[in-house]
Structure 1
Amino acid sequence: MERPCLRLDDPPSYSHFLHTYLLPNQPLIIGSSLIASWPAYNLWRRAGNQTKWEHLKDVYGDLEVTVADCATREFSDQRRDQRLFRDVVSLWEAGEGQSLYIKDWHLARTLTSKNPAHDMFYTTPEVFRDDWMNAYYSAHTEDDFRFVYVGAAGTFTPLHRDVYTSYSWSTNVCGHKRWWLFPPEQTHLLFRKGGEEHMETAYDVRDVDPSKYPFPSGWYHQVENLTDCISINHNWCNAVNLPSLYASMCAKVLEVEHALEDVRELLSQGAVQSADLDLEAWKQEWVSIVQDVVEKDAGWKYVHVCQTVRCRSTMLTPITVVSWTTFWRIILHALRLAMGRPCLVVDTLWPRTPSELMPSLDFIKTRVRACYEDFVKRPESERSLVAGLEEVLVNVKELLDE
């Protein structure tokens, strides 16, 4: 049964957004007033919602982009390569390359790294500012979860759920998209019969074999460009969906462990046969291998890593994915920010979020504490076996006890 998706003409207040949409985990459409002041909204498009391709080529033409070929499936994703932005646009202007889709373009990060004083082409709406992922990654890494997507009519992103059930906001600057959204209670219907263990979902909901899929997480979704289209997207998380992220991390570790079971057996047998018989050493190596694969689990990258052990992944976005150490560092960074403690912040990339644009500190601590108390009791004992993790957890606990 189809559900209507709620729509607001104007942006809600943060409090209304938190209690009406974030906490109940409901999708929302917000009208164009949300982005009416963006330079991109005024400079990238002309009357009739058409794209100013010449302007975009002049400004961004020499930048390299990741291009997916929507006509060529590669495992659970699409074949990708690197090209100059101007070369892709030139193909479209010549009536060619209609299956090409520029995805996961870190345009904001690229421009800022070239010139920190560069005028940004958009600003993050207030209701999305409480973003632990981009706050941490912008301050401590060369990566982030802020993207631009540019595609011709008919290009699409296959069925997927965003990385570790993170939130996602997506704004059309030019053109129109069609979205298919499947609520979490339908997740079990999306897996191929017999493929549930490795989370094998359908590739394209427009072409589903009913003998293999019951069909008709976070929310699974698929997106199609109905016209030439440019959109800006963030993956993000905070205390509200932290329990879901934590559960997804636990499930991913278990999935990787099952996929690499033959490696575990080889390590344990090698330890038994070794003259040193250092049982703790092999366990530490095992946990390290699992965490390394989890951290590199980025869709097609993960499929290639695990191909020899017959596992598959449904993650689609080729971006950095966290290990347990990174997961807890993100939380530690967020706690320090929320509690006003000294913390690295790069204002040009991600300024501090005002307290009025996040839940109460008690709410944040309660969410973090539940995950912490469960994690330290995990039988996998990552706390003592993953390098650097113990120190991070100690720092988290100290802040929770204040």
Structure 2
Amino acid sequence: MSINKIECPLIDIPEYNYNCWSVVSSSLECSELSFLDFFSNFMIKNTPCIIRNIASEWECTKKWVCNNEINYDYLKDKYGNLEAPVADCNNIQYNSHCKIDMKVTEYMDYMKHHKDNRLLYLKDWHLRRNKPDDNFYEIPIFFALDWLNEFAMDNNEDDFMFVYIGPKGSWTPLHEDVYCSYSWSVNIVGRKKWILFPPGEEDKLKDSFGNLPLLFEAEKHTNVKYYEIIQEKGDAIFVPSGWHHQVANELNTISVNHNWINACNVHIVWTALQTNLTMVEHQIEEFKDSPEYSSQCQLILKSLFGMDFKDFISFLCYIAKKRLNQLEGKSRMGLSKYILGIDTIKFDLIHILKVMESITTHPIFLNKQNILPSITEDIIKIKHEITEKCH
């Protein structure tokens, strides 16, 4: 296995302006795009793009596809005994698709012959976790700075790596990705139509209760700024933090998808966490004087956002400790086959420090009843160590 080093410049990340967006790039050819180009022009700027011909050497590109169609028989033979979550796009309850678990062999039979009223979409399938030795794809270097999956894999927790398989007409409702993370998606076969909304534009779609529609209809919202992007076979799409989006399969389609967080967007995740907490506090403000108010706010925050303050701080401390060890030469491996260069490690640590400095001035942190003493001690110790070693 070849090893590649990831080097990024020690530059500052500008404060993200949610009212200023760059034009979505036309196609970028994978072979002509460097990591630094992607890092500087898209990841740092939180701007979406398409990268063409990124998966030509992947095993799944060669084996999951036959004559430019899904190779149903191969997938049945290889993965048929596994179960995967499946959503019915024609069965909507409580503003979401109804879901079941289904054997992959049964789902492949459905894909080949579906003639009923269901529109089934196999989604959020943790195939890499279920079969860790099956190297059916490689993480592209552009997306390798991935703290979220690094943390999940190191701690044997659920990852954020998914396979999607769906027939023509299947779709994903309008949403923002978990934790306000980045996401990337590569089409192995088929075609998707994406509609992306620059941050803040989704507010124009909300009803009087603050709820978003299941699907955006352009004719009903003529004042909304959005981008429509067609993703073909072999294309990767980069979806930045905070960009709401909806997706429709225009052909029978398979894709590989990741959610991810790193030093370039961790401040956006931290801001989103605070914003969600403020919203929760406002919703149950009538109980503010009760002794359980703060803990209940964190509990609701976790149910809405997917993590609470303790989860986020623990995640940040873990990555910081690992990077400090890497800085000492104890380990240099990042996610998958990539090595982190010294400047990349320092870049991570410097931007972790900035978020930690904001955390330690937040009322939740200052109120020692709401943060475990071990976390408080950890973050103060880590801040000191980063300052000493990176400045």
Change (3 A) 1:381 1:327: closer
Q: What's the secondary structure of 2:321's corresponding residue?
A: helix
Residues of 2 paired with 1:186 and 1:332: CA distance? Answer: 33
Deviation at 1:257, TM superposition (A): 2.4
Residues of 2 paired with 1:352 and 1:136: CA distance? Answer: 16
> Is residue 162–residue 258 contact of structure 2 (8 Å, CA) maintained in 1?
yes
- TM-score of the pair, normalised by structure 2: 0.80
Change (3 A) 1:344 1:152: farther
Of 84, 105, 112, the residue aligned with 1:65 is: 84
Change (3 A) 1:140 1:123: same
Of 1, 13, 16, the residue aligned with 2:37 is: 16
1:149-177 Cα shifts (integer Å, max 9, x gaps)? 11111010011111122110000001111
1:346-375 Cα shifts (integer Å, max 9, x gaps)? x8x94474224x964454334222222222
Residues of 1 paired with 2:22 and 2:354: CA distance? Answer: 34
Q: What's the secondary structure of 2:281's corresponding residue?
A: helix
Query: Greater RCO between the two (CA within 8 Å, min separation 6)?
Result: 2
Q: Percent identity?
A: 28
Residue 87 of structure 1 corresponds to which residue in structure 2?
Answer: 106
Change (3 A) 1:166 1:172: same
Residue 53 of structure 1 corresponds to which residue in structure 2?
Answer: 72
RMSD: 2.9
Of 378, 381, 389, the residue aligned with 2:375 is: 389
Moved more, 174-183 or 287-296: 287-296
Alignment of 1:195 with 2:219, yes or no, is no
Alignment of 1:132 with 2:144, yes or no, is no
Matched pairs, number: 347
Greater strand content:
2
Residue 280 of structure 2 corresponds to which residue in structure 1?
Answer: 256
Residue 153 of structure 1 corresponds to which residue in structure 2?
Answer: 168
Residue 235 of structure 1 corresponds to which residue in structure 2?
Answer: 259
Q: Any gaps of 5 or more consecutive residues in structure 2?
A: 1-20, 226-240
> Is residue 337–residue 352 contact of structure 1 (8 Å, CA) maintained in 2?
no
Alignment of 1:379 with 2:390, yes or no, is no
Residues of 2 paired with 1:101 and 1:396: CA distance? Answer: 44
- TM-score of the pair, normalised by structure 1: 0.78
Letter in 2 for 1:46: C
Residues of 2 paired with 1:69 and 1:42: CA distance? Answer: 29
1:216-269 Cα shifts (integer Å, max 9, x gaps)? 67211110001111100000010111111100011112222233345x35x72x
Alignment of 1:324 with 2:296, yes or no, is no
1:304-323 Cα shifts (integer Å, max 9, x gaps)? xxxxxxxxxxxxxxxxx222
Change (3 A) 1:352 1:92: closer
Q: Any gaps of 5 or more consecutive residues in structure 1?
A: 113-117, 269-281, 299-320
Change (3 A) 1:159 1:66: same
Residues of 2 paired with 1:204 and 1:249: CA distance? Answer: 25
Aligned pairs for 1:266-281 (under 5 A) are: 268=290
Letter in 2 for 1:377: T
Residue 369 of structure 1 corresponds to which residue in structure 2?
Answer: 353
Residues of 1 paired with 2:346 and 2:156: CA distance? Answer: 29
